[in-house]
Amino acid sequence: MSKADPAGGLLSVVVTGLGATTPLGGDVTSTWSAMLAGTSGVRRITEEWVDRLPVKIAAPAAVDPVAVVGRVQARRMDRCEQLALVAAREAWADAGAPTVDPWRLGVVVTSGIGGIGSTLAAYDTLRDKGWDRISPYTVPMLMPNGAAGWISIEFGARAGAHALVSACASGAEAIGYGIDMIRSGRADVVLAGGAEAAIMALNLGAFAVMRAMSTRNDEPERASRPWDKGRDGFVLGEGAGVVVLESQAHALARGARIYAVAAGAGYTSDAYHIAHGAPDGAGVERAIRYCLDDAGLSASQVVHVNAHATSTPEGDPLEAKAIQSALGAAASGVIVSATKSMTGHLLGGSGAVESVACILALRDRMAPPTINLDDPDDDMTIDIATKPRPLTPPADGSPMAVLNDSFGFGGHNVALAFTEYSGG
Amino acid sequence: MTDQEILSGLAEIVEEIAGVPADEVTPEKSFVDDLDIDSLSMVEIAVAAQDKFGVEIPDEQLKDLKTVQDVVNFVSKGV
């Protein structure tokens, strides 16, 4: 309960639970084994509206959340809220369903777009049947903080429920804010993550009109191909990731299993263009450097980066250069992976799912592969895993660190650092 | 339509919308206190009941319909 770290510094934050429901599997174990096996979750979509669109592929959640949440609760929740709740329940159970003072338990669970499916469906009802046929739960279904609210209710979390929104950086930013809640003494335990459920005609059309999406419709499994010369845009995925963050003291007091230290976060904004990353990559580079500073890490401790790398022609090389310049000479020892090659892009869920992947990479000392990288860009200097690759601890015996990059429209750059937990 | 028919029709609606098993939707039950139905779901139930029974339930009436029997009586008078 004490606010101050006995050592006088910031409270140490650890990860004690993981949850995910993704295009690769309905839980963490199935998702992670599919990742290590290099499985693609992308497939041809069959809804009739796809005929009107140039994009006919996506990566839907492998397990329908309605079946997990239950029909009655699900009809009051948007699909992104359902996915978030599924991941939160798994993470909570994985953490051993800790007993926590409700006023010390926080939630930071967000989304890039929020309840867009409910918004669209409610509008159809309004137009076709009238205002009084709209579900009375429409507002809580469409609001982007809905998942945070539902999760706070489910677990009785009363230290604050938050939903920071920064497009495709939202899930990572949520975890960063969760770390801050514990460091600043506002909470002992925080459920943090993000979710997205946006595979609908409007969203596919809206991204397609930006020319941001892959139209490799005849080869869905090969469509998401970060850093490959043949890439032609991202593939929209859906799902959620949630982690249980906990102060080290709280985790130790209850004898919790500790996966990793949630060591720090770095943030910048590009202030350049609403939907294009700044071409100098300075915002990304600094977010990574600020993250290392915040976590008290040297670049030589970093063994793995789970990159944002969405498979867009312009974004991927920018990030590769920024990783190289942020880590400097140490970059040569870093294995980089783009798991979006398998999951597609979960927008506001991606930073959370990729943080789960980072933490499991640390646990297993194994970087997941980047699939479809058949013909890499010519000037690549970073080392990209195309098969699962073992991670080797730094020679000086310091703890291994892994990073997750997440960027969002609006110019948001977020980097998170997780390190091996080495006891007391 | 008999009161029994209205009751079983209402019970189906309540099961569909609020997940309360139809056989627990008995006349003496209070929607809020016994069946744990919130005001938002109550609005949905009222709209579904209007559609099913063809009886308008104005908002000012809805707030007085506290038990399952109250709704059955109201629908029964209106049919």
Question: For residues A404 and A356, is the Cβ–Cβ distance under 8 A?
Answer: no
Nearest CA in chain A to B17: A72
Mean pLDDT of A171-189: 98
Mean pLDDT of A214-227: 98
- Residue among A141, A124, A27, A133 nearest A74 (CA): A141
Question: For residues A247 and A362, is the Cβ–Cβ distance under 8 A?
Answer: no
DSSP code for A186 = S
Chain B interface includes A274 (CB < 8 A): no
Note the pLDDT tens digit of each residue in A394-421: 999 999 999 999 999 999 999 999 999 9
Task: Report residue A4's pLDDT band, with 50, 70 and 90 as the boundaries.
Answer: very low
Cβ contact (<8 Å) for B19 and A133?
A: no
Number of Cα atoms under 13 Å in the Cβ half of residue A273: 7
Closest chain B C-alpha to A125 CA, distance in angstroms: 14
- Residues A184, A178: Cα–Cα separation, whole Å: 10
- pLDDT at residue A270, rounded to an integer: 98
The DSSP annotation for A325-379 comes to: HHHGGGGGG-EEE-THHHH-B-GGGHHHHHHHHHHHHHHHTEEPP-TT-SSB-TT
Q: Quickly tell me which residue has 């009107």 as its tokens.
A: A52
Chain B interface includes A70 (CB < 8 A): yes
* B chain contacts of residue A133, beta-carbon cutoff 8 Å: 47
Note the pLDDT tens digit of each residue in A17-56: 999 999 999 999 999 999 999 999 999 999 999 999 999 9
Closest chain B C-alpha to A77 CA, distance in angstroms: 13
Chain B interface includes A73 (CB < 8 A): yes
Domains for chain A: give ranges and CATH numbers: 13-253 (3.40.47.10), 264-419 (3.40.47.10)
Mean pLDDT of A211-218: 98
Cβ contact (<8 Å) for B43 and A136?
A: yes
- Tell me if residue A358 is catalytic: no
Average pLDDT over chain A, rounded to an integer: 96
The one-letter amino acid code at A405 reads D
- Tell me if residue A345 is catalytic: yes
Could you tell me which residues come within 8 angstroms of residue A273 by beta carbon, excluding any fewer than 6 positions away? Answer: A411
Q: Residues 85 to 144 of A: which have CB under 8 A from any B CB?
A: 132-133, 135-137
Note the pLDDT tens digit of each residue in A280-338: 999 999 999 999 999 999 999 999 999 999 999 999 999 999 999 999 999 999 999 99
- Residues B32, B35: Cα–Cα separation, whole Å: 6
- The ipTM value here is 0.89
Which member of A70, A73, A135 has the closest CB to residue B44? A135
Q: Quickly tell me which residue has 């991606």 as its tokens.
A: A350
State pTM to two decimals: 0.96
Cβ contact (<8 Å) for A135 and B17?
A: no
Q: Quickly tell me which residue has 């992308």 as its tokens.
A: A42
Which member of B19, B43, B47 has the closest CB to residue A72? B19
Note the pLDDT tens digit of each residue in A146-172: 999 999 999 999 999 999 999 999 999
Mean pLDDT of A273-283: 95
- Residue among A111, A108, A96 nearest A18 (CA): A96
Mean pLDDT of A106-124: 98
Q: Does domain B3-78 have CATH number 1.10.1200.10?
A: yes
- Candidates A71, A73, A75, A143: best to mutate against B (most CBs of B within 10 A) is A75
- Residues A341, A193: Cα–Cα separation, whole Å: 21
**pLDDT at residue A2 tops 50:** no
- Residues A374, A377: Cα–Cα separation, whole Å: 10
- Residue among A328, A327, A393, A385 nearest A365 (CA): A393
Closest chain B C-alpha to A75 CA, distance in angstroms: 8
Note the pLDDT tens digit of each residue in A224-246: 999 999 999 999 999 999 999 99
Mean pLDDT of A190-196: 98
DSSP code for A348 = G
- pLDDT at residue A8, rounded to an integer: 47
Note the pLDDT tens digit of each residue in B10-69: 999 999 999 999 999 999 999 999 999 999 999 999 999 999 999 999 999 999 999 999
Percent of chain A with pLDDT over 70: 97
Please provide residue A267's backbone torsions phi and psi, each rounded to the nearest 5 degrees: -135, 140
**A337, β-bridge pairs:** A306
Alpha carbon A332 to its chain's center: 25
Please provide residue B23's backbone torsions phi and psi, each rounded to the nearest 5 degrees: -75, -10
